[in-house]
Amino acid sequence: MKIVHRLFLLAVVCVVLGCRYSGQLAGPGPRQTVYEVKGVVREVNPAESTLTIQHEDVPGFMPAMTMSFAVKDPTLMQKLAADDRVKFQLAVTETDSWIASIAKIPGLIEPSTASAKPSEGPALEPGQVVPNFALIDQDGRTIQLHDYRGQVVVVTFIFTRCPLPNYCPLMSRNFLVLQEELRKQFPVKVHLLSISFDPAHDTTAVLKEYAGNYGANPKDWSFATGTPSQIKSVATLFGLTYEMQGVSITHNLRTALIGPNGRLVHVWKSNTWQPREVADMIQGIQLVTVGG
């Protein structure tokens, strides 16, 4: 079993570091499932190559909700605008998902289907001190940000039921790679913190099992939950927004780097960041710390 576990971890590391699949819809490559979905475009974001779509229920995959989907072919977005009714093909592999094709369809939009986008709170700016906060980790212990003063802290947000492999699961795969890399480069100088914004489901027991699935070492990587108000308070610091929709959650993505002095260094606002760029930024912080 240990050998199988190690092989799984190596495979995950390979995927995140660049051994990515071609994403083709047919022919050799990873196993893909293609879902036929209908919905209403809520936002077109060419800069991030995403479409935010309020979609219908996808049987056997995810309930109806509003979600941001990756679009690999930018030409697919050229003639789309907010409030367009569309049907699209969602391609999903074990590690990725994207809109493979999309077309407008006729029909009126019911006013009741409009979904207000959660407003973002006053997020911190780089250089500002991150206020202390307290949460509960996967072992049921109270942890505070101040516990890691003197260490670099990398914070990301997840929920364990997230259905799209290139959203929350990708954040966890990236953290797995970071855990292995940072343990070699900066032992005991960096701590990873994954915060769930689904406290009703993601109990400490659920988070402990989830952490085990990713090979998380609690000395280097903690998973945390708390009360809804505690989590909302922390999320607001970094501009994370989320909204419950049935059993799932509409959310954006935030990963933050906090320096050993407790000040915010950088916030990544999408799922396109790579573990290497985080490690390189930490390297710069460490050099400044040693030199200063």
> What pLDDT digit, counting tens, does each position of 134-174 carry?
999 999 999 999 999 999 999 999 999 888 888 899 999 99
Closest CA to 67 of 202, 162, 158: 162
Going from the C-alpha of 219 to that of each of 138, 139, 266, the distances in angstroms are: 12, 12, 23
Asked whether residue 236 carries a pLDDT value surpassing 50, the answer given is yes
Q: What is the pTM of this model?
A: 0.74
Average pLDDT, the chain: 84
Supply the pLDDT for residue 118.
Answer: 44
Q: Which residue, chain included where needed, has tokens 């995403």?
A: 50
CB atoms within 10 A of CB 274: 14
Supply the pLDDT for residue 256.
Answer: 97
Q: How confident is the model at residue 272 (pLDDT cuts 50, 70, 90)?
A: confident
Q: What is the set of domains in the chain, with CATH numbers?
A: 23-113 (2.40.50.320), 134-291 (3.40.30.10)
Q: How many whole angstroms separate alpha carbon 172 and alpha carbon 73?
A: 26
The predicted model gives 187-196 an average pLDDT of 95
Going from the C-alpha of 174 to that of each of 141, 148, 218, 255, 274, the distances in angstroms are: 25, 21, 16, 11, 7
Structure token pair of residue 200: 């009703």
Supply the pLDDT for residue 64.
Answer: 82
CB atoms within 10 A of CB 54: 19
Q: How many whole angstroms separate alpha carbon 155 and alpha carbon 160?
A: 16
Supply the pLDDT for residue 9.
Answer: 44
Residues with Cβ within 8 Å of 26's Cβ and at least 6 positions away in sequence, in order, are none
Q: How confident is the model at residue 247 (pLDDT cuts 50, 70, 90)?
A: low
